[in-house]
Amino acid sequence: MATTTPAAAGVSLEELLAAKERRAHRQSAWLTRFSRPLISLTLVTPGAVKDSARYRRVMDEAVRCADALLLQRGWPRLKQQTFWLPTGAEAFWCVGQAARQIKAATIELEQSHPLGRLWDFDVICPQAGVVGRRALDHAGRRCLICDAPAHQCARSRRHPLPGVIAKVEELIDGWLSAH
């Protein structure tokens, strides 16, 4: 497990784009190495700060829940690794199970856990690529603020960033107070 100190300041767009490219390269390497479906987890972290003690707790909970899900379903976990990066935590699992079944289970996890709205589980099939929500007849993610399609609000920047960050913090606070 790679570990770094949480970033004190925000990260730039260039750093985020470079991190996304590195993640895509790691995903490709894992898919090539294992030839099995890959779960790639990131967090929904609006704003420039992508790594904090609070976000690390959210990621720890997501990893714990995903591990429990795989164990509960009896799906073989060929490899798991978490990357603690200034551009935001990432976690990968290589799983010996059909990608569509994995995606259905991760959607259920995102929808049932109080922090699930902050988790972004991508499932990638080595043969078919990314298995999206629509492939399983699920609607896309909804906006944290107004419940419209999340991608529409994000692209248009419909909601002021401080309000979106406040909603994320509210979700985290609610979970922390219960745990």
Strands (E), 27-164: 38-43, 77-83, 90-95, 119-125, 129-131
For domain 13-138, which CATH number applies: 3.40.190.10, 3.40.50.970, 2.40.160.50, 3.30.70.260?
3.30.70.260
pLDDT band at 133 (very low <50, low <70, confident <90, very high): confident
Instruction: Specify the pLDDT at position 155.
Output: 87
pLDDT above 70: residue 54:
yes
> Which whole number is the average pLDDT over 54-82?
97
Higher pLDDT, 7 or 142: 142
Question: Confidence band (pLDDT; 50, 70, 90) for 81?
Answer: very high
Decide if 134 contacts 91 (C-beta within 8 A).
no
Question: What's the chain's Rg over C-alpha atoms?
Answer: 16
Which range (3-12, 63-72, 143-152) has the least confidence?
3-12
Rounded mean pLDDT of 30-58?
95
Q: What is the pLDDT of residue 68?
A: 97
Mean pLDDT of 156-161: 90
Identify whether the C-beta of residue 133 lies closer than 8 Å to the C-beta of residue 123: no
* Alpha carbons 129 and 137: distance in angstroms, whole number: 17
Name the pLDDT band for 1 (thresholds 50, 70, 90).
Answer: very low
Is residue 112 over pLDDT 50? yes
Which pLDDT does position 139 carry in this prediction?
77
> What was the pLDDT predicted at 157?
87
Backbone angles phi and psi of 72, in degrees to 5: -60, -40
Beta strands (DSSP E) in the chain are 38-43, 77-83, 90-95, 119-125, 129-131
d(CA 140, CA 149): 7
Both structure tokens of 16: 């985020």
User: Which of 10, 14, 38, 13 is closest to 25 using CA atoms?
Assistant: 38
Supply the pLDDT for residue 6. 47
Query: How many CB atoms sit inside 10 A of residue 36's CB?
Result: 20
Non-local CB neighbours of 130 within 8 Å, separated by 6+ positions:
122, 123, 124
